[in-house]
A and B are shown apart, each in its own frame.
Chain A
Amino acid sequence: MTVKSEKYMMEEEPYYRPVGDEIALFAAAYLNRIPVLLKGPTGSGKTRFMQYMAWLHKRPLVTVSCHDDLTASDLVGRYLVKGGETLWVDGPLARAVKVGGFCYLDEIVEARKDTTVVIHPLADDRRILPIEKRGEVLKAPAEFLLALSYNPGYQSVLKDLKQSTRQRFLALEFGYPNRELETEIIVHESRVNEEIAVRLVTFGEKTRNLKDRGLAEGASTRLLIHAAQLIVSGIGQAEACGAAISAPLTDDAEMYLALSEIVSSLF
């Protein structure tokens, strides 16, 4: 069965545990038609949050993963030649506008700068999407919401969000959840027992201690969940942590060994 993404509704409640007041902030932003910008390191729950919001507000969610070849027409739409005739095909952004859904542009900094400009008229009080090639303007219905995600930890100067873009958005900061919450999340997502979850969280914290001391980034909650899932599937704890956490974090052999030592000291 195929479902067009703009018709696709979350049927089950996605699991999401709020870290702060992000749900209330989002609701207020939505009510006031302010687009939102989700900031935070990878694996901190930005995408899950969007799914949860789409479910909560009962809107379809159109997700676009941005990459450096993403052009404006990839978002808005283009003419295709089909059987000798031209045919207009809407892009995901246009489709989301038409059905009044949530359009979520994941990792927006990856997209080319000229591409991000097309969302400007949609992101301020005009709330319109001009489709130049057709000479049309789409007016976004009240239900429509634009959301971007962005990881401020990237160190490339060419991949920074322009002021003119960022200043149209309300920004929600995502960080690592606190100990208790993170344990709860891991237990829920992987069904691992709580004792192991606590140790995984401790290991996660230790890797975050090593940020800038050899690691570019500490372990995200997602990595910890992966390790927990491996453990539930019968993989040994040390092997699971190695494959799911240490190895993805570093390519440096010494650092990997140091992390393995920490794992073996904790478990």
Chain B
Amino acid sequence: MSHAADKRIGQLREGLEINLKLDFMEDDEIRDIFDEIASFDPSLMQKILALSLSLSHASSSFVISTLARIRKARRILSMKSTEKWIANAFDLLDSKGIDPFIKFISKADDAEILKKYQGPEGLSLQSILPRLEAYIQGISGLELKIVQGKTAHTDTSTIYLPALMNLHTAKDENFLIYKLMVVHQWARITCGSLVPDDGIVKVFVKKQRNHPDIDSIFRNFQEREFAQDLYVILESIRSREFLVAELPGLMRKADELVKSIFEARPHLESLSAMTAVAEGLFQYYLCGKSKGSMPAGVKIISPKLKTLRQAKSPSSTFELLFDIYHAGCCISGKYEARDLSFLGTIRPDKVSKFLRTKRIEKKKNYEGMINRLLSAPEMENRKKPSAAKTETEERELRPDEKYLVIKGKIIELNSELREIVEERQGIPGGILVKGSDLGAGSPVTLADLVAEEEVEEVRTGGIPYDEWDYRRSGYKKHWCSVYEHDVYPGHEPFVEMTLRRYGAYVGLLRSKFEMLKREPKILRRQRDGDDIDIDAVVEAFSDMLAGLSPAEDLFIRIDRQERNIAVLFLLDMSGSTKGWVNEAEKEALVLMSEALEALGDSYAIYGFSGMTRTKCDYYRVKGFDENYSATIKKRIAGIEPKDYTRMGPAIRHSITLLQSVEARTRLCIILSDGKPEDWDSYKGEYAIEDTRKSLIEAREKGIHPFCITIDKEARSYLPHMYGEANYTVIDEVRKLPDKITEIYRRLTT
């Protein structure tokens, strides 16, 4: 940036700062505003600063709200278009004044209006992301995410799509291409193109590696790009039937587009021989013919292409791929990759990486378990839990399998465990023994063993709670110790800042909740009721005397509509909430407290975290008997992420607290950000089952639990864990404060 431009920006900043200070803004708030401005693209900075300065003459609150609007518009528009949009807003402010300006910028999220500023730039992925994601999740029933990437590809859990589509002038066509891209990636996932069966992989991988996958297959090829493109086309030929059957409408609409794409493709003779092979095959995929004839050596494959359509697995695709690849490589010429339009690409490396991370995660779990097992005190000294026998079903020793023996326990090997043993070349304290040499004994899995071998507690004086073990379908008596603490008060004026940030919304919220408050109503002139409505009776008699037929509604009924609700908010304070989630949880609590103060429902706020069953920490932010005072506000500010998420004991303790409160309806709202998990073996199915059980206990005791999960994906275990209708998923953290009050309203009316 030039010196002059720097100087101008400096002047603008200074002017803005002075105006903001004049408006009694605190230093840190001013800093926030400048941080916000700095977060925009550098080339927009000058315009935004100038605009903010003009606005700050009127009021600093305009500056804040305008920045938020610009951010919204920027999400939909490209940088250039945003600039145009800001310029237009600025013109409006200068020429017509503040009111038309505010009207204009308040429509920053209206895609229709913003369209005008979009220009002939095509369709951005950002502007259609939510729609496209809902589209593919609905169609596939899978938890697929869509993320911006260089080319269209997938690692089987996330689909990457290019940021901008401007191949066509019409928006609809660009969107159609996006749809085709995303369904082709889905077809690749569902038809097994990316994760072929081990059997298939073994056939095509020469050098055996540890975990052969699709990446190992493609590493065999010298001309990897050529092979990958061929594979993409061949697999698309194979999965076409699938897509036509599943989505006839879309594929029909694609026909026109396919024709125009075919028209635009080059003549084969103009390409190098190798490129022509791939291109010819792509043209065959598009229209069943090619422009110009394929190189001679490759021609023989065309009957095989027809049988490929009926193939159920990628095995025949690979055979054909090798045929074509070898024929193609014999021909001279370099391969120049050409864009395969909506077919996109494959990235075997990413698929492999994704599979590896999943594997490593599992392995880490096992390693942790082994370490803990080895460091656990000798088991001879400890008496066995009496239920241990029934805990796992009896397993038979298989003579030719190997087993890991640690401290006299026979542990079954699975693929992950076997790998760990191989990597470490044996585990000190454990030996590998063949089943036939072991004679008698029954093997157990590692997970079972660790659960049994919990380290004994160190802290004392906690409140004991049972924990549910689904494997023995019984409780572990006094298994967890819950310790109650107060949250250490924070010193930031967090509550005040939140209230200021949500400004007008808080007022609206209070009045909304005040409306829920119901006074007992006297209903007059009822057909039946608790008492006689004297006025009506007098009237009726006078009517009668007058010879008229008297009214029949002669009673008073008292309609008692009082609310009698006690609610406990239970906050996940685990380490994973660090950052936005924690911030949003706190903001949500502030808004909720405001609303509940207006409504008069009795409420309490607690948080939980902890590490292992012996240290389940339960933090008090606000008890039922405490008023929403300055101390409480400081405690809210002091909420910060701690350790792990052992949900069961926290919920059980909440039940105890709620039971001590007098109320007709008792409600426990749990805010969390994902799966329950602790440092020890409290994870996976065990944790889910224990949480589920504790929620069932709550319901048995007349408490309604409701869970709000902040997660990008609605995970499939949620309905099982929380119960069909007893949870909701919020996909965007920022929405939590707005949403939670709505949820509460819906829950209690």
Binding site for B on A (CB under 8 A): 71, 73, 78-84, 152-158, 160, 199, 205-207, 209-210, 212-214, 254-255, 257-259, 261-267
Q: What residues on A are CB-neighbors of B429 within 8 Å?
A: none
Contact A266 B131 (CB under 8 A): no
Closest B residue by C-beta to A77: B528
B249 and A157 within 8 A (CB): no
Judge if B141 is at the interface, Cβ distance under 8 Å. Answer: yes
- Would you call A264 and B249 a contact (CB within 8 A)? yes
The answer to whether A258 and B726 touch (CB under 8 A), given A80-B552, A212-B718, is no
Residues A254 and B130 in contact, CB atoms below 8 Å apart: yes
Residues of A within 8 A of B747 (CB): 155-158
A-B residue pairs in contact (CB < 8 Å), sample of 25: A78-B528, A80-B552, A153-B725, A155-B725, A155-B746, A155-B747, A156-B749, A157-B747, A158-B748, A205-B141, A207-B138, A209-B138, A210-B138, A212-B728, A254-B130, A254-B131, A254-B134, A258-B130, A259-B134, A264-B250, A265-B135, A265-B183, A266-B248, A266-B249, A267-B248
Q: How far is the CA of A81 from the CA of B747 in the complex (A)?
A: 40
Flag if A157 contacts B137 (CB, 8 Å). no
Chain B residues whose CB sits within 8 angstroms of the CB of A265 once the complex forms: 135, 139, 179, 183, 247, 249-250
Closest 8 CB pairs of A and B: A265-B250, A258-B134, A157-B704, A209-B141, A81-B552, A265-B247, A267-B249, A206-B138
**B80, CB-defined interface residue at 8 Å:** no
A84 to B550, Cβ gap below 8 A? yes
Interface string of B110-143 (1 = CB under 8 A from A): 0000000000000000000011111101111100
Q: Given A156-B749, A212-B729, A262–B714 Cβ distance below 8 Å?
A: no
CB distance from A89 to the nearest CB of B (A): 10
Residues of B within 8 A of A158 (CB): 665, 747-749
**Additional pairs, 7, CB under 8 Å, beyond known A155-B725, A205-B141, A264-B250:** A155-B746, A156-B748, A157-B706, A209-B138, A212-B728, A258-B135, A261-B135
A79 to B552 CA separation, bound complex (whole angstroms): 10
B552 touches A210 (CB 8 A): no
B134 CB contacts on chain A under 8 angstroms: 210, 213-214, 254-255, 258-259
Task: Judge whether B137 and A213 touch: CB under 8 Å.
Answer: yes
Q: Which residue of A lies closest to B745 (CB)?
A: A156
A117 CB, min distance to chain B CBs, angstroms: 14
Is there a chain A Cβ closer than 8 Å to B8's Cβ? no
**Quick check: is B657 within 8 A (CB to CB) of the other chain?**
no
Q: Does B527 contact A (CB under 8 A)?
A: yes
B230 within 8 A of A: no
A254–B135 alpha-carbon span in the complex (Å)? 10
Q: Are B726 and A155 in contact (CB under 8 A)?
A: yes
Tell me whether A157 and B665 are in contact (CB under 8 A). yes
Chain A residues whose CB sits within 8 angstroms of the CB of B706 once the complex forms: 155, 157
CB contacts (< 8 Å) of A78 on chain B: these are 527-528
- Specify which chain B residues have a CB less than 8 angstroms from the CB of A214 in the assembled complex: 134
Task: For B554, list chain A residues within 8 Å (CB).
Answer: 81
Report the minimal beta-carbon distance from A178 to chain B, rounded to whole angstroms: 16
**Contact yes or no, B138 A79, CB < 8 A:** no
Contacts of B140 in A (CB 8 A): 209
